A and B are shown apart, each in its own frame.
Chain A
Amino acid sequence: MSDTGASVLRARGLRKEYGQGEGLVRAVDEVDLDVASGETVAVMGPSGCGKSTLLHLLGGLDRPTGGELWLAGQRLDQMGERALARLRRGAVGFVFQAFHLMDELTAVENVELPALLAGQPARAARRRASALLDRVGLADRAAFLPSALSGGQRQRVAIARALVSEPAVVLADEPTGNLDSQATVEVLRLFEDLHEAGQTLIIVTHDSRIAATADRLISMRDGAFIDETRLTGGSTGNLGSLAGLT
């Protein structure tokens, strides 16, 4: 169970500010966060509440103005650029709303790319990439270019890519934002599988269906956490009543 896992990610008083004086904007305002190994955490909030900025800080894509941040036992906020880039490649997997696949590379080439950049031997990288495509149900699409894939398939390729370096945490920014309802279900299923396999996941989303897969839901407003809900533990029991059966 996630509760017993060690903390993979830990933030204390994390801040990100833009501008200065009158125009100062606190995009992320004194955020404390602990994410246990194997936990799925969803962050929800209105547009502009700072949730994407927070995700970028957590993954080392952006530097905090203040506060402390640990990922996989290493302190991120004081780390040099090269060390940070290395940590990002190895410990973090990113999934974006717009997929961010390389158009000129096939599905399997997209998936193996981070492993190759991290210096893995080509053959091992290909083997792992193929296994991951199989895991996301796209083994038969390995040689396809992204343009030949549906939105849901592209996002599944992107998720396979995020997993290639066996990251300590996968960070997803509106992963279903560009998907229709059927493709959303494909991605939902995949996240449920990852969760069951013990992958730590942080998902920033507007989509209540994705949020409902989380162990814990954090509501964010004006850069700060305002509510935290544990969704696991205890079932609401009677689904039949929701369908008008009783």
Chain B
Amino acid sequence: MQQEVILAMLAKEPSHGYELRARLRQALGPLGDAMNDGHVYVTLTRLEKAGLVTSEQAAGLPDRPDRKVYGLTPAGQERVTGWLAEVSWPKPDLAEFHLKLIAAAAAGLADPLTIVDAQRRELLRRLRDAQRVALGEPDGSAAGLLLEGIVLRLQADLRWLEACERNWTPRKDRS
């Protein structure tokens, strides 16, 4: 996960590491289960070294080993503002798959339709998993919205596979 995510979570108010962790879990739901608990602390330490956050010892509770409260420095504040304004969207690697089909067909190494079918199987399994988890989320949960995004992207990939299938079907017949 990007450092900026942790940084931005501190923009509201200075917080303990465990508070950040709890907020992440809330936002990610079941997807946060795989998250390494140490990740937040490692990131905070790095951010502190980079001068983007400062920490203060707080009068913590005896059962909380973690007594540091982290807050943004002006540089950290600036980074968060820049990050929020940034437009970044993960790019799916469609070109690799596209070129794989072309190379397979050209060399006669594999039937492109077999490759498409294998890819579809994999995507449908992921869709099944994502959907299972999504249906288990209560209406309006933050994690449900994230899962909906995963489902929609998988659906889009599957639609593109249909187009690949259509495209390669007649070529196969001609050969």
Q: Is the interface of A mostly helix, strand, loop or mixed?
A: mixed
Please report the C-alpha to C-alpha distance between residue A236 and residue B28 in the assembled complex, in whole angstroms. 18
Please report the C-alpha to C-alpha distance between residue A226 and residue B114 in the assembled complex, in whole angstroms. 10
Contact assessment for A209 and B127 in the assembled complex, using a CB-CB cutoff below 8 Å: yes
A227 contacts B by Cβ under 8 Å: yes
A212 contacts B by Cβ under 8 Å: yes
A119 contacts B by Cβ under 8 Å: no
0 or 1 for each of B133-175: is its CB under 8 Å from A? (1 = yes): 1010000000000110111011100110010011001000000
Please report the C-alpha to C-alpha distance between residue A208 and residue B135 in the assembled complex, in whole angstroms. 15
A238 contacts B by Cβ under 8 Å: yes
Contact assessment for B155 and A245 in the assembled complex, using a CB-CB cutoff below 8 Å: no
List residues of chain A with CB within 8 A of the CB of B162: 46
List residues of chain A with CB within 8 A of the CB of B34: 238, 240, 245-246
Question: Within residues 25 to 65 of chain B, which ones have a CB less than 8 A from any CB in chain A?
Answer: 28, 30-32, 34-35
Contact assessment for B158 and A242 in the assembled complex, using a CB-CB cutoff below 8 Å: no
List residues of chain B with CB within 8 A of the CB of A231: 121, 124-125, 128
Contact assessment for A245 and B150 in the assembled complex, using a CB-CB cutoff below 8 Å: no
Would you give the shortest CB distance from A207 to chain B, in whole angstroms?
Answer: 9
List residues of chain B with CB within 8 A of the CB of A236: 122, 125-126, 129
Please report the C-alpha to C-alpha distance between residue A234 and residue B128 in the assembled complex, in whole angstroms. 11
A133 contacts B by Cβ under 8 Å: no
Contact assessment for A212 and B31 in the assembled complex, using a CB-CB cutoff below 8 Å: no
Please report the C-alpha to C-alpha distance between residue A227 and residue B30 in the assembled complex, in whole angstroms. 32
B73 contacts A by Cβ under 8 Å: no
Contact assessment for B31 and A209 in the assembled complex, using a CB-CB cutoff below 8 Å: no
Q: Is the interface of B mostly helix, strand, loop or mixed?
A: helix
B78 contacts A by Cβ under 8 Å: no
- Contact A240/B35 with A189-B135, A208-B154, A229-B121 known, Cβ cut-off 8 Å: yes
Please report the C-alpha to C-alpha distance between residue A209 and residue B132 in the assembled complex, in whole angstroms. 11
A201 contacts B by Cβ under 8 Å: no
Please report the C-alpha to C-alpha distance between residue A212 and residue B130 in the assembled complex, in whole angstroms. 10
Please report the C-alpha to C-alpha distance between residue A34 and residue B126 in the assembled complex, in whole angstroms. 25
Contact assessment for B35 and A239 in the assembled complex, using a CB-CB cutoff below 8 Å: no
- Contact A239/B151 with A212-B128, A213-B131 known, Cβ cut-off 8 Å: no
A-B contact count (CB 8 A): 82
List residues of chain A with CB within 8 A of the CB of B108: none
Please report the C-alpha to C-alpha distance between residue A61 and residue B125 in the assembled complex, in whole angstroms. 32
- Contact A213/B128 with A192-B135, A242-B154, A243-B149 known, Cβ cut-off 8 Å: yes
Count how many chain A residues have C-beta atoms less than 8 Å from C-beta atoms of the other chain. Answer: 29
- Contact A46/B150 with A212-B131, A229-B121, A242-B130 known, Cβ cut-off 8 Å: no
Nearest residue (CB) in A for B134 is A185
Would you give the shortest CB distance from B79 to chain A, in whole angstroms?
Answer: 19
0 or 1 for each of A199-238: is its CB under 8 Å from B? (1 = yes): 0000000001101110001010100001101010011111
A23 contacts B by Cβ under 8 Å: no
Please report the C-alpha to C-alpha distance between residue A245 and residue B35 in the assembled complex, in whole angstroms. 8
Contact assessment for A217 and B117 in the assembled complex, using a CB-CB cutoff below 8 Å: no
List residues of chain B with CB within 8 A of the CB of A209: 127, 131, 151, 155
Question: Within residues 14 to 47 of chain A, which ones have a CB less than 8 A from any CB in chain B?
Answer: 46
Would you give the shortest CB distance from B167 to chain A, in whole angstroms?
Answer: 12
B107 contacts A by Cβ under 8 Å: no
Q: Which of A185, A217, A221 contacts B124 (CB 8 A)?
A: A217
Using a CB–CB cutoff of 8 Å, the interface residues on chain B facing chain A are: 1, 28, 30-32, 34-35, 90, 117, 120-133, 135, 146-147, 149-151, 153-155, 158-159, 162, 165-166, 169
Using a CB–CB cutoff of 8 Å, the interface residues on chain A facing chain B are: 46, 185, 188-189, 192, 208-209, 211-213, 217, 219, 221, 226-227, 229, 231, 234-240, 242-246
Q: With contacts A209-B127, A243-B146 known, what are 19 further pairs, Cβ within 8 A?
A: A46-B165, A46-B166, A208-B123, A208-B158, A209-B151, A212-B127, A213-B128, A219-B120, A231-B121, A231-B124, A231-B128, A236-B122, A239-B30, A240-B31, A243-B28, A245-B1, A245-B35, A246-B1, A246-B34
